[in-house]
Structure 1
Amino acid sequence: MNVTEVSSLYPAERLEAARRATEDAGLDALLVTPGADLRYLTGYQALPLERLTCLVVPAGGEPFLVVPALEKPAAAASPAGALGIGITGFDETDDPYALIARRLPVGTRLFAVDNHMWAEKLLAFQAALPGAQAGLAGDVLSVLRMRKSPAEVAALRRAGAAIDRVHRRIGEWLRPGRTEREVAKDIADAILDAGHACVDFVIVASGPNGASPHHEVSDRVIRTGDPVVVDIGGTTADGYCSDSTRTYAVGEPPAAFRELYEVLLHAQTAQTRAVRPGITAEELDAVGRDIITEAGYGQHFIHRTGHGIGLETHEEPYIVAGSKRALEPGMAFSVEPGIYLPGTFGARIEDIAVCTETGGERLNLTGRDLVVLPG
């Protein structure tokens, strides 16, 4: 990324937005350790070490970053260094929890920690702040993070294009006689070659393994006629994630599979077309679920329609029955209905979609029709 891309993806005003949200929530401070929340607020992709790294966002004061002294140069060289926040290094014999406690407002009674903070760090903060109550920073930050800026949408669009390039090459590796594991290794290499900084997951689920949504890979040998679910994703250098699923057939699949797939394609296409501001998450889930249920496969659609995506593969908003959350422009999420017949086969089609001012935009543009590869 160049300097302009860094500043647009991780703008300084996010810290002020987080401070206001902290104050509005009645919290005295947010305490954010390495992970997606820290990167969202500062651009700093800190190492998750046993030594404490923590961004402190007081409701009534200036944010500051506390890091091990040996990590201070890295923190200063990251986008966080350009935000103008104070970066305090501590030595090996210092107590960083006590250091932070001393700098928090007098009378701090309620603080929130990032949802993925290690338990040992939370316990250390509770010991350093006796009488104060801990909550979850996700209740504050998820509302900010789920509405993507134009720069974030552009980053997700680049990630989507990169994973699309991999799907277009699946025919190079997926063929009878190879194991799922062998195919997955080739796909993982291609994910990196396509422009990702790391591989997050590779699912190659052939034949009956396709009926398990999170199967990943095994040593099963792919056979002629097998449907194969390929669900892949990675993280790009700017921190944003890709996630896309296509289902292939190696040779002509069973007629029953083609029937199932046509239902699934109808459902997924209808759902992506239904994305618009104001539709609720549960209403969008129902668009595809009703189609699948009416075709007789309702009991075999066993997961939610989708999940938000950004700096994490799974984040808010979740597209699931029971969620009354109305979609808003900037929300990005997967649309991935699936049908799974235990012991037989399964299928899933997944695109990342972004809610726009007038409707929705698909970020994955490979074809959704069933691709039948040579068997």
Structure 2
Amino acid sequence: MNRGNVACGETMDTSAVADQKGTETTLLDVRAYRLARVREQLRKNNCPAILLYDPVNIRYATDTSNMQIWTGRNPSRYVMVFADGRVIAWEFHSCEHVWDGLNLDLDLRSAVSWTFFNAGTEAERRVDVWGAEIVDVLSQRAPNELRLAVDRLDPLGAAYLTQHGLNLVDGQAMMEMARAVKSSGELVLMGESLRACEKGIERMHRELRPGMTEQDLWANLHYENIRHGGEWIETRLLASGDRTNPWMHECSSRVLQHGELLAFDTDMVGPNGYCSDISRTWTVGHTQPSDEQRKLYERAYSQVHFNMDLLRPGMAFREFSERAWKIPERYLKNRYSCVAHGIGMVDEYPNIAHQVDWEGGGYDGRFEVGMTLCVESYIGAEGGNQGVKLEQQVVLTESGCVPLTSCGFETDWL
């Protein structure tokens, strides 16, 4: 694989930190840092506690994981974190062991599930049991406090809590802000995820040949993720030939053809629950690109690296959007959905809209040191039959952004 040069500097090396501290020590530091970030947001928003159902938020606050995809669809475990650091956890049936070994001020209980799948026609009765316990816990631990942050809550639960005097506030916003700035330990854990992802990309590159299907190729990324302790992949974004334009076709049984473009976006949740979000584009058979393929690639590469060079801590999101690489008119309609976005355990705050989309989809803020971001590009002409998808994962430092992956670009196409 051609690894090329990266315009905004050397790849950040986290391996030395990992060797020095050891993964377990790193995890202890990261757990303390993340819980402190949640507590900081609660104090900043004058809120005594936050009720978490989103499995990614629960993982961030407590470093526990239990069937994350399933519990994301079936809310059956939940956690309340208090501003003083105390944690009450309601765990799924007979799964108390997922909390073993954690140094938390913890009150562990059994979850009450009131979704229709779990409760059927008993849902309203069970939500009364659930809600009475939530109200009781809050009144005991934070007397006279009526504010409770929640990240997500189905209608029956929200109705119960508000009818019993609680003022529900947006906990997802607090969690996104908490997760936005990464510690040095988090960068180590993210690096472990990225190394697993790179193994998958290298395997895909090695196995790529005409005659296999898109799904055959995509399976190689899953294989390396799982064997290196990874968890799941959020999307199936791999496309070939005319399915590369427009972007957002998920992989299929289509057979790969010699010389056509092949593009993918990993969206891979790897070891320790951190996401590796890398996009690359190749030719099937690793042939030399046609003039049109080369032109598309050069523009996508230019967009990513121009915007990486532009990024600086302290810059406003709107200023970045306004000064970002200008997409030529013929590619504008098929532009990617954002210029860049945050990355951590999954896609995270912020999401930076293109200037042309700012009025309807933009919001302002400022980049900070320690933010990890993905800089995006998709270049494909409106009505065209091929396109190029590139994306680079970076961390913001005092002097600008530094790539977190050594996965290279096809610089010999430029």
Relative to the length of structure 1, the TM-score reads 0.85
**Whole-angstrom CA distance in 2 between matches of 1:346 and 1:120:** 45
Corresponding residue number in structure 2 for 1:56: 80
Give 1:8's aligned amino acid. D
Q: Where does residue 353 of structure 1 map in the other structure?
A: 394
Corresponding residue of 2:116? none
Could you tell me whether the CA contact under 8 Å between 2:204 and 2:218 is conserved in 1? no
Aligned to 1:102: 136
- For residue 364 of structure 2, the aligned residue among 309, 320, 324 is 324
Deviations 1:116-159, CA, capped at 9 Å, x for gaps? x44454445445xx232322202222211100111111211222
Task: Give the direction of change, closer, same or farther, for the CA distance of 1:298–1:186 in structure 2 (3 Å limit).
Answer: same
Q: Which moved more, 1:65-74 or 1:355-364?
A: 65-74
Partner letter of residue 41 of structure 1? A
- Please point out which of 328, 336, 339 is paired with 1:293: 328
User: Aligned partners of 1:101, 1:52: CA distance in 2, in Å?
Assistant: 18
Hey, what's the Cα distance between the residues in 1 that align with 2:242 and 2:313? 38
Show the counterpart of 1:3. Answer: 24
- SS of equivalent to 2:299: helix
Q: 8 Å contact 1:160–1:352 — kept in the other structure? A: no
| Aligned-pair CA distance for 1:215 | 1.0
Aligned to 1:29: 49
Alignment of 1:112-123 (within 5 A): 112-115=149-152, 117-123=153-159
1:150-229 paired onto structure 2 within 5 Å: 150-229=184-263
Alpha-carbon spacing, 1:349–1:20, altered in 2? closer, same or farther (3 Å): closer
Contact 1:247 1:371 in 2 (8 A): no
- Contact 2:342 / 2:371 at 8 angstroms: preserved in 1? yes
How far apart, CA to CA, are the structure 2 residues paired with 1:186 and 1:323? 37
2:107 corresponds to 1:74: no
The residue aligned with 1:141 is: 175
AA at the equivalent of 2:409: R
Following superposition, the deviation at residue 238 of structure 1 comes to 1.1
Structure-2 separation of matches of 1:185 and 1:245: 16
Is it true that 1:45 corresponds to 2:68 in the alignment? no
Q: Give the counterpart of 2:299 among 259, 263, 275.
A: 263
Secondary structure of the 1:261 match is: helix
CA distance in 1, matches of 2:245, 2:344: 27
**Which one-letter code corresponds to 1:57 in the other structure?**
V
Distance (Å, rounded) in 2 between the aligned partners of 1:114 and 1:91: 18
The offset of 1:248, in angstroms, is 0.5
Structure 2 CA distance for partners of 1:17 and 1:3, relative to 1, 3 Å: same
Please say if residues 111 and 133 of structure 1, whose CA atoms lie closer than 8 Å, have aligned partners that are also in contact. yes
Which is richer in helix?
2
Detail structure 1 runs of 4+ shifted over 6 Å in the superposition.
90-94
Distance 1:23 1:36, change over 3 A: same
RMSD over equivalenced CA pairs, Å: 2.9
Q: Deviation at 1:171?
A: 3.0
Q: Give the Cα separation in 1 of the matches to 2:52 and 2:290.
A: 51
Q: In the alignment, which residue of structure 1 is the partner of 2:12? A: none
Answer with 324-333 or 160-169: which moved more: 160-169
Give SS of 2:169's match: strand
Partner Cα separation in structure 2 for residue 162 and residue 231 of structure 1: 15
Asked if 2 retains the 8 angstrom alpha-carbon contact of 1:318 and 1:333, the reply is no
Percent identity over the alignment? Answer: 24
Asked whether the 8 Å contact 1:277–1:359 carries over to 2, the reply is yes
Q: Indicate the SS of the match to 1:177.
A: coil
Q: 1:238 aligns with which of 263, 272, 277?
A: 272
Mapped to 2, the partners of 1:69 and 1:197 lie a distance apart of 19
Deviation at 1:237, TM superposition (A): 2.9
CA distance, structure 2, for counterparts of residue 71 and residue 273 of structure 1: 51
Q: CA deviation at 1:352?
A: 0.6
The 2-side partners of 1:170 and 1:134 are apart by 47
Query: Which gives a bigger RCO, structure 1 or 2 (Cα 8 Å, sep 6+)?
Result: 2
Q: Which runs of 5+ in 2 are unaligned?
A: 1-21, 114-125, 355-361
Describe the shift of the 1:51–1:280 C-alpha distance in structure 2 as closer, same or farther (beyond 3 A): closer
SS at match of 1:218: coil
State yes or no: 1:88 paired with 2:109.
yes
Q: Which residue of 1 aligns with 2:408?
A: 367
1:334 maps to which residue? 374
What secondary structure does 1:345 align onto? coil
SS at match of 2:234: strand
- What corresponds to 2:39 in structure 1? 19
Do the aligned partners of residues 113 and 282 (structure 1) sit closer, same or farther apart at CA in structure 2, a change above 3 Å counting?
Answer: same
Stretches of structure 1 lacking an aligned partner (at least 5 in a row): none
Following the alignment from structure 1 to structure 2, what is the Cα–Cα distance between the partners of residues 311 and 8?
A: 17
